[in-house]
Amino acid sequence: MTKIKLFFFTLLLVFNFHNVSNSQSVPASFADLAEKLMPSVVNISTTQTVVTRSNPFPNFQFPPGSPFEDMFKEFGTPQERQSSALGSGFIIDEKGLVVTNNHVIQDAEDIIVRVSGNKECKAKVIGSDPLSDIAVLQLETKEKFIPVKFGNSDSARIGDWVIAIGNPFGLGGTVTSGIISARNRSIGLSRYEDYIQTDASINSGNSGGPLFDMNGDVIGINTAILGRSGSIGIGFSIPSNNAKIVIDQLVKFGETKRGWLGVRIQDVTKEIAEVEKLDEPRGALVASVAENSPSDKAGVKAGDIILEFNGEKIVEMKELPMIVAKTEVGKKVKVKIWRNKKEIIKNITLGRLETSEDFKVAEKKAKPKEINIEKLKITVRELTKEDIATRKLPNQTSGLVVTQIANDSPLVKSIEINSIILEAQKKKIRNIIDLNQVLDQVLSSNEKTLLLVILNNQNQRRYIGVKLN
């Protein structure tokens, strides 16, 4: 009897394992899928002219932004150089509509798109959106193309197989595979974040390329990686369901039209939930309400906790901006609020974010000045308090944030955009002047070898040695 029970128990285990393992079987090969999809994936190269002025008085250095700096620049000789960038994209319409990342084509003067490995077409920007980092291009040709289809990113599960196709390091037509490692990731890159994390190898040049499921449908746009100089198995993609809303608006209007509530929000902590007699920490706490905003007109007050928006429960604060942004401008929605230890309903007619005063003020905020370091062929800016807070660095941290890297830079394979230069030749770098002084010393020496200390995008300290010409 015991043997019979053991037999049936073993049989049950085998049966269950078989069912689990076959929920999405391991592909024997990705070859057929890759062959089908590759004609729809494009390589993108852009060029822009960067103008710099040589210092006619190299022995004199002035703080960035000082009147003396601007005055002496007038005496410098303008120097132009072509800066180029590489990225990926994919075709969504037979007439040649291409989707990519905004940062791939931002400020580009010329955009060249290579299709099916060797056909080159010029492209123009139909619309772009820095907030979501999405852009739509139109190929300037009368040829017909094979478009891809969007899949349902909401149905993609952790552990599902995916493939990425793109142009890493200029090596077009590159296929990598992996799984979905996580969902709903926030990494501090943009206002609206809900990334799919994947371990499919993604590198510089993959930006804007598609992440496919096993049906050959696009479920993500490859946008960011973690790693010092390449993939370490942690890449991030914009979910297709979020991207498609933006893409449709860019195609239709040439711009985005996002819903706007007009509130500043924060997390509901355990302590706040206890004080407010809320059953558990959930929702979004209203820290302030913009004057004459939709929320202000509807009677929303600071201290309110938004529990539901248009029928969708708000579990975490970060969910609310994304849901509001997806909602049609001008739509009247019901918002469930926790106030004075009870639920109330407010009917709010949404405004448009892009025309709101909040947005205009944010757009007008002075961006840190970017300076081209010709000797290294990179562009940098000084580290700000916002950078320190966002990246959770010690308050005393100083350095330069790398914003652009030319393809012919001696550092192109050693660092990545958003790396922070902390030291050069074992000297602390506080500003542009410090770095330029060190570079002058290195170039006047016999060795011409530069030693940098950087923080990569994982906030890991790294030493980098590079030979300068």
Q: Indicate whether 268 and 246 sit together in one domain.
A: no
Which pLDDT band holds residue 63 (cuts at 50, 70, 90)? very low
pLDDT of residue 227: 57
CATH no. for residue 463? 2.30.42.10
Residue after which a domain boundary falls, among 316, 336, 359: 359
Claim to verify: residue 228 and residue 280 sit in the same structural domain: no
Q: Does the annotation count 207 as an active-site position?
A: yes
Note down the domain range covering 397.
Answer: 370-467
Please tell me the predicted confidence (pLDDT) of residue 396: 82
User: Which residue is catalytic, options 133, 199, 217, 387?
Assistant: 133
Quick one: three-class SS letters along 188-207? CCCCCCCEEEECCCCCCCCC
Catalytic residue chosen out of the listed positions 40, 103, 213, 217: 103
23 found inside a domain: no
What backbone phi and psi angles, to 5 degrees, belong to 39?
-60, -15
Segments in 227-307 forming alpha helices (H): 240-253, 270-275, 294-298
pLDDT at 16 over 50: no
In this prediction, residues 213-220 reach a mean pLDDT of 96
Residue 366 vs residue 206, higher pLDDT: 206
Q: Is residue 29 part of a domain?
A: no
Across 75-89, 228-242, 300-314, 395-409, the highest mean pLDDT is recorded for 300-314
Domain membership of residue 4 (yes or no) is no
Q: How many CA atoms lie within 13 A of 314 on its CB side?
A: 27
Is residue 232 domain-shared with residue 314, that is, in the same domain? no
- Whether the Cβ atoms of residue 368 and residue 389 lie closer than 8 Å to each other: no
The residue out of 253, 274, 290 marking a domain boundary is: 253
pLDDT of residue 151: 96
In a domain, 237, yes or no: yes
Q: 246 in a domain, yes or no?
A: yes
In a domain, residue 240? The reply is yes
For 412-469, the pLDDT digits (tens) are: 888 888 999 999 999 999 888 889 889 988 888 888 899 999 999 888 999 988 888 7
Which one of 103-107, 233-237, 299-303 scores highest in mean pLDDT?
A: 299-303
- Which pLDDT value is given to residue 448? 85
Q: What's the confidence (pLDDT) of residue 37?
A: 95
User: Looking at the predicted structure, is the pLDDT value of residue 300 above 80?
Assistant: yes
Assess whether 235 and 299 both reside in one domain.
no
Is the model's pLDDT at 77 over the cut of 90? no
Q: With pLDDT > 70 as the criterion, what percentage of the chain qualifies?
A: 83
Which one from 207, 293, 356, 409 is the annotated catalytic residue?
Answer: 207
Can you tell me the distance from the alpha carbon of 459 to that of 461, in angstroms, rounded to the nearest whole number?
6
Where helices occur in 236-281 by DSSP H, the ranges are: 240-253, 270-275
Dump pLDDT digits (tens) for 143-202: 999 999 999 999 999 999 999 999 988 888 899 999 999 998 887 777 778 899 999 998
Domain end residue (candidates: 318, 339, 359): 359
CA distances (Å), origin 226, targets 27, 198, 317, 397: 27, 11, 25, 21
Residue 415 lies in a domain: yes
Considering the domain architecture, whether residues 163 and 225 belong to the same structural domain is answered as yes
Above 90 in pLDDT, residue 7?
Answer: no
If one counts the domains in the chain, the total is: 3
Structure tokens at 341: 């230890």
Q: What is the mean pLDDT of the chain?
A: 85
- Write out the DSSP string of 98-121: EEE-HHHHTT-SEEEEEETTTEEE
Question: Do both 352 and 265 map to the same domain?
Answer: yes
pTM of whole model > 0.85? Answer: no
Q: Find the CATH number of the domain harbouring 178.
A: 2.40.10.10
The question of whether 440 is a catalytic residue gets the answer: no
pLDDT bin (cut points 50, 70, 90) of residue 67 is very low
Decide if 414 is catalytic.
no
C-alpha distances in Å from residue 442, one per residue of 163, 218, 427: 44, 48, 12
Whether 313 and 393 share a structural domain: no
Beta carbons within 8 Å of 37's beta carbon, 6+ residues apart: 148, 163, 165, 210, 212, 216
Asked whether residue 106 is domain-assigned, the answer is no
